[in-house]
Amino acid sequence: MTSIQENFDLSNYNTMGLKALAHFFVEIHSLSELKEALEFSDERSLETLILGGGSNILFVKDFKGLVILNRIKGIQTVSEDEDQITLKIGAGENWHQLVRDCVAKGYGGIENLSLIPGTVGAAPIQNIGAYGVELVDVFVSLEAYDIEQKELKIFTKEESAFGYRDSIFKKELKGKVVITSVTLRLSKNPELNFSYSSLKERLDEKGIQNPALNDVSEAVIEVRQSKLPDPDKIGNTGSFFKNPVISVYQFDELKSAYSELTGYPISERQVKVPAGWLIEQAGWKGKRKGDAGVHSKQALVLVNHGSATGEEIWKLANEIIESIHQKFDIRLIPEVNILGLAH
Ligand code: FAD
Ligand code: EPU
């Protein structure tokens, strides 16, 4: 195991670029190193945090326990025939690199998830999704180490209880298991999904009517680059809130006041509405409080203009929650994992 470091600065390990300190920090590359790290925290009764790319985390305070940076690598072919390939991928592999490698080999299913930052092991936590596709669509199973029972377990799709930006690993099993590998089934003759409006528009602009796998991946990358801020240039964690789900009744009421409001029906009684639109309507787009701000092109993204603290970003997030509640009677729920709040 690489050595355990003390009072480690996490600035380069969270995409919001927050200067949080980890009391202890270690990078692991294998299951045995993971077990050693967990032993270290067990002996000292430390709180443990598994960190991938730090692209969906907000450190409101310094982390008092042990941060374990997961860099378990490796990709194995589990099975293959003329139509499909099943891959078992180490949790510390980079997600976007995996997507691009698969696209280059002609394996389809995750091209719409191009350019999502972070690791493969974090992808199931919130069932990453974009442009009409979610991880669950290609997911077979995952392996995770149960911290208390000290054993490796397999979780099927059903056991993972995936939902919109949700899974059992974000709820009941939060902090209880460490995902070590994820198994995905990809198609060698993929049916491409490019019906999402901004993706379709981008392909039309490029004059592509019958896109190939790589065309979809590239169009997704271009749409994302035009809307979402690059964390290397300005700190952010993608969408800060989930798109809220409201009743059809409430949606109809809002729609009569705001005819331009769009909604995506998710059942007969419920509609998902764009939080970015709500936040923009409430006047927050491009607003800034010190270095904590709302992105000027996408109001659902909170940004760190330089030296904002986690507390400042969290304060801004709460002001937005309060303002949306007052204006629309809708309570926004953070999508990002908030760390360091008093229990
Ligand atoms: P981290 O931020 O390191 O961790 C996230 C959570 O998962 C933490 O609670 C952590 O403890 C836990 N965790 C991480 N790895 C493991 C593991 N191996 N075992 C157990 N727990 C673990 N998300 C989308 O769904 N769709 C998007 O389109 C999208 N776009 C984004 C765009 C930008 C610019 C940014 C910055 C983020 C975006 N995200 C998006 C959010 C983010 O990329 C995903 O949630 C991603 O899966 C997080 O991966 P990570 O490795 O960085 O996770
Ligand atoms: N909108 C506004 N103002 C804004 C932003 C958006 O009016 O400032 C409107 C848009 O005009 C559009 C609607 O809101 O009508 C939806 O916007 P967009 O297509 O940009 O998607 P989103 O709902 O804001 C979601 C995901 C993203 C994902 C994209 C593409 C959530 C919380 N976010 O964003 O995921 O990439 O769709 O599928 O579901 C993430 O999770 O971090 C993330 C970036």
198 belongs to a structural domain: no
Does 104 lie in the same domain as 118? yes
242 belongs to a structural domain: yes
Rg (CA), the chain: 20
Residue nearest to atom 40 of ligand 2 (CA): 239
Ligand nearest to the CA of 285: 2
100 belongs to a structural domain: yes
Examine the fold and report which residue of 70, 93, 126 is the final residue of a domain before the chain moves on.
70
124 belongs to a structural domain: yes
Q: What is the pLDDT along the chain (343 residues), one digit of tens a residue?
A: 569 999 999 999 999 999 999 999 999 999 999 999 999 999 999 999 999 999 999 999 999 999 999 999 999 999 999 999 999 999 999 999 999 999 999 999 999 999 999 999 999 999 999 999 999 999 999 999 999 999 999 999 999 999 999 999 999 999 999 999 999 999 999 999 999 999 999 999 999 999 999 999 999 999 999 999 999 999 999 999 999 999 999 999 999 999 999 999 999 999 999 999 999 999 999 999 999 999 999 999 999 999 999 999 999 999 999 999 999 999 999 999 999 987 5
Indicate whether residue 337 lines ligand 1 (CB < 6 A): yes
Q: Compute, in angstroms, the gap from residue 328 CA to the centroid of ligand 2.
A: 18
CATH code, 35: 3.30.43.10
Does 162 lie in the same domain as 90? yes
Q: Which pTM value belongs to this model?
A: 0.98
What per-residue confidence (pLDDT) applies to 2?
65
Query: Best mutation site among 116, 153, 164, 221 for ligand 1, i.e. most ligand atoms within 8 A of its Cβ?
Result: 116
Ligand nearest to the CA of 225: 1
Residue nearest to atom 11 of ligand 2 (CA): 277
Distance CA(49)–CA(67), nearest Å, equals: 5
Does 86 lie in the same domain as 21? no
Examine the fold and report which residue of 40, 70, 100 is the final residue of a domain before the chain moves on.
70
Does 261 lie in the same domain as 303? yes
CATH code, 79: 3.30.465.10
Give the number of the atom of ligand 1 that is nearest the alpha carbon of residue 126: 45
Does 322 lie in the same domain as 242? yes
Tokens of 75: 């990709």
212 belongs to a structural domain: no
Does 183 lie in the same domain as 79? yes
Does 183 lie in the same domain as 257? no
Give the number of the atom of ligand 2 that is nearest the alpha carbon of residue 228: 44
Does 279 lie in the same domain as 180? no
Residue nearest to atom 48 of ligand 1 (CA): 118
Residue nearest to atom 24 of ligand 2 (CA): 276
215 belongs to a structural domain: no
In this structure, the number of other CB atoms found within 10 A of the CB of residue 207 comes to 6
Ligand nearest to the CA of 300: 2
Give the number of the atom of ligand 2 that is nearest the alpha carbon of residue 239: 42
Does 127 lie in the same domain as 79? yes
Give the number of the atom of ligand 1 that is nearest the alpha carbon of residue 70: 18
Does 310 lie in the same domain as 279? yes
Three-state DSSP class for residue 81? coil
Full residue range of the structural domain in which residue 109 is found: 75-187
- Which residues carry out catalysis? 165, 239, 335
230-265: buried (b, 16+ CB within 10 Å) or exposed (e) per residue?
ebeebbbbbbbbbbbbbeeebbeebbeeeeebebee
Q: Domain total for the chain?
A: 3
What per-residue confidence (pLDDT) applies to 128?
98
131 belongs to a structural domain: yes
47: which residues sit within 8 A by CB, 6+ positions away? 41, 63, 64, 65, 66
